[in-house]
Amino acid sequence: MEVNEALIDKLAHLSKLTFSSEEKQEFMGDLEKMIGFVEKLNELDLNDVEPLMHMSNEINVLRKDIVQGSISRDEALLNAPATDGVFFKVPKVIRK
């Protein structure tokens, strides 16, 4: 992959960033190093390597979904720092 100023400009546009010409030159060098590192992986012989689908052979171990009772509204509101008797009261976070 060719790393040039047009590629840096396109990446800057997509990421909504602006760079000075010095920063572009620095990023071009850094990007060439990164791409070179990844392209080095193409030299590996992976013919006998099976694709990895999961990190382990374990199957998800999930508990049984058992329907149980829940607590009442009054019990739920007992530990709340502020309530109006029916709902939890929380600080306003959206201002107009």
Host domain of residue 9: 5-43
CA-wise closest residue to 7 among 31, 23, 36, 37: 31
Domain count, the chain: 1
Q: The CATH number of the domain where 38 resides is what?
A: 1.10.20
End-to-end Cα distance, the chain:
48
Query: Is residue 60, in this structure, part of any structural domain at all?
Result: no
Residue-wise pLDDT tens digits, 32-63: 999 999 999 889 998 998 888 877 777 777 88
For residues 29-33, average pLDDT: 93
Query: Is residue 53, in this structure, part of any structural domain at all?
Result: no
Query: Is residue 17, in this structure, part of any structural domain at all?
Result: yes
Query: Is residue 93, in this structure, part of any structural domain at all?
Result: no
Query: Is residue 78, in this structure, part of any structural domain at all?
Result: no
> Does 96 have pLDDT greater than 80?
no
DSSP 86: S
